[in-house]
Amino acid sequence: MTAVKKYPVLAALVLGALFMVLPFAVVLMNAVKSPDEYSSDGPLSLPDGLHLDGITTFWERVDFGEKLWNSVLISGSVALLAVVLSVFSAYAIGIGRIKGRPWVLAFFVLANMLPQEALVYPVYYLSKEAGLYDTRLSVIIVFTVIQSAFGTYLLASVLSGFPREVIEAARIDGATKWQVLWRVVVPVSRPTIGVLMVLFFIWTWNEFLLPLVMLVSDDVQTVSVALGVLQGQRDMDATMTNAAALLGVLPALAFFLVFQRTLTRGIAVGAVK
């Protein structure tokens, strides 16, 4: 590649990347404007100063702290429980090599791809019957199972390459299957388990349809649902919309910066491996 051609390509890529992050910049710029400034100067001017009233007003109006806590509680519980469930199932499939293994595995993969539209109404109905409707627990249970479908599939294929000698050695030394799982398999698989926990946390954080249907009361809603519902009702003015966008973007941005490598690695492993 000659130097003449190299710079246009680089410039085009940088422009493209700027276009991708431009919406974030515009949101940040306008979230710190006062309503007067916004209506007189429009969305494209640089802010005069730091005006945080819009954000604090929005925070208090939707009780954003509570929404954040709900999201953390739900996503955290799902990440933990779904990993445990995945480890159990994957242990049986990948290490135990139970009979009908390919079929069991195919079942988990298909379950993972099933559109939630085909589950949402019965889940809604059953949770009402069970008295779990409009509770965070219902969403935790449902997503623990949905996410563990992917986890089982990924972990089982990783574990099927686990060195048999290690397990045999532990078994001959008298370790039970339970001990082999927790003292040998889990510690060795920690990197994969870590990737799974991060993915489950972020996926659950971003989920929309099922939490929208299941969580109707204000005090149990997640960040995604609360913001989506507000936007869907179309009763926010420009400054509020901006504050909402900024507060919604920030946690995602934080996860992204912290977990960037885990995420991109995990996505690549999950899709092609």
Partner 1 sequence: MAAVLTKTATDAGGSPPGPRRRPARAGRPRSEGSYALYLLPGALAFLVVIVVPFLMNTGISFTEWSGVGTPEFTGLDNYEKLLGDEDFWESFRHSLAMVVAMAVLPTALGLVLATALFDVVAKHAGARWASVLRACFYLPQVLPIAVAGIVWSWILAPENGSLNDLLGALGLDGLQQDWLGDPDWALYSVMAVMVWVQIGFPLVIFMSGLQRLDPALHEAAELDGAGWWRRLWHITLPQLRPEIAVVLLWCTIAALKVFGMVYVLTGGGPGGSTNVPSYFAYQNFFENFQAGYGAAISTVLTILIMVLAVVALRLQTKAEDET
Cβ proximity to partner 1, 63 vs 92, nearer residue: 92
User: Is the separation of the CB atoms in 242 and 30 below 8 Å?
Assistant: yes
Which of these segments, 52-60, 61-69, 163-171, 189-197, binds partner 1 (CB under 8 A)? 163-171
> Of 25, 4, 22, which is closest to residue 14 (Cα–Cα)?
22
Q: Which of 48, 53, 56, 110 binds partner 1 (CB under 8 A)?
A: 110
Q: Which of 17, 52, 137, 166 binds partner 1 (CB under 8 A)?
A: 17
CB atoms closer than 10 angstroms to residue 263: 16
Does 272 participate in binding partner 1 (rule CB under 8 A)?
yes
Residues 6 or more apart whose CB falls under 8 angstroms from that of 88 comprise: none
Q: Which of 6, 52, 57, 218 binds partner 1 (CB under 8 A)?
A: 6
Does 186 participate in binding partner 1 (rule CB under 8 A)?
no
To the nearest 10°, report the CA torsion of 150, 153, 158, 159: 120
Does 202 participate in binding partner 1 (rule CB under 8 A)?
yes
Q: Which of 147, 152, 192, 221 binds partner 1 (CB under 8 A)?
A: 152
Measured on CA atoms in the order 176, 177, 180, 182, is the torsion positive or negative?
A: negative
- Residue 84 burial (10 A CB sphere; 0-12, 13-18, 19+): middle
State the minimum distance, in angstroms, from the CB of residue 219 to partner 1. 18
Rounded to whole angstroms, how far apart are CA atoms 86 and 178?
15
Q: Which of 140, 149, 155, 214 binds partner 1 (CB under 8 A)?
A: 149
Q: Which of 137, 208, 218, 219 binds partner 1 (CB under 8 A)?
A: 208
Cβ proximity to partner 1, 56 vs 97, nearer residue: 97
3-state secondary structure 159-180: HCCCCHHHHHHHHHCCCCHHHH
Q: Tell me how many residues contact partner 1 (CB under 8 A).
A: 105
Which of these segments, 46-54, 58-66, 187-195, 248-256, binds partner 1 (CB under 8 A)? 248-256
Does 15 participate in binding partner 1 (rule CB under 8 A)?
no
Q: Which of 73, 120, 186, 188 binds partner 1 (CB under 8 A)?
A: 120
> Of 154, 141, 267, 152, which is closest to residue 210 (Cα–Cα)?
141
Draw the binding track, 64-83, toward partner 1 (x: CB under 8 A; -: no contact). Answer: --------------------
Which of these segments, 17-25, 46-54, 57-65, 189-197, binds partner 1 (CB under 8 A)? 17-25
DSSP per-residue string spanning 52-71: -HHHHHHHHHHTHHHHHHHH
Does 146 participate in binding partner 1 (rule CB under 8 A)?
yes
